[in-house]
Amino acid sequence: MSEEPLRIVLETDRLRLRNWLERDRDLFREINADPKVMEFFAFRRSHAEADALFERINTMIKQDGLGFYAVEDKQTGEAMGFCGLAPASLSGIFPDETIEIGWRLATRFWGNGFITEAAQALVNYGLNCLSLPCIVSFAVAENHRSIAVMKRIGMKHCPDFDFDHPRVPDTHPHLKPHVTYAIVSSAAAS
């Protein structure tokens, strides 16, 4: 892949949310194969699978402006993981137009509030700039770290939308139950 030009979507005090660059590929492979990062997923991605996802996400960002953006430390220029807004793509569970927020961060960056900072900025951007009526997030019911982020960014549990994830194999029954959190724009709430 030839190097894409840098496209910054958002900046916070400490972070840039941007498209993925070729120099980020090893980090992307790392977070998709790390057993701690992927603890609540039924599989780890091989390099080839991570590369395919890397390309798909970057194409999505380029075409739609939405996707799972690289989270970069503004001081070092180093990518740390991702946080983004994307179609939820779970027909039958959410309406087709539903946008989710999701994230992953390399373990060496955990515990510094980076994901909360990035996710809060994206929620504000999605609700106020993109005029999204609602943003959802979902996670395995036992994934307390992600649920804590959802709560910190103002999302509320929506128990009526909790579900068993259809793409989680039955061989991983503890990973099937997912909880759903959402935040609604003030315009949609009125």
* Interval 81-87 mean pLDDT: 97
Distance CA 82, CA 189 (A): 29
Domains of the chain: 8-189 (3.40.630.30)
Q: What would the pLDDT profile of 35-82 be if each residue is shown by its tens digit?
A: 999 999 888 898 899 999 999 999 999 998 999 999 999 999 999 999
Grade residue 1 by pLDDT with cuts at 50, 70 and 90: very low
How does the average pLDDT of the chain come out, rounded?
93
pLDDT for position 20: 94
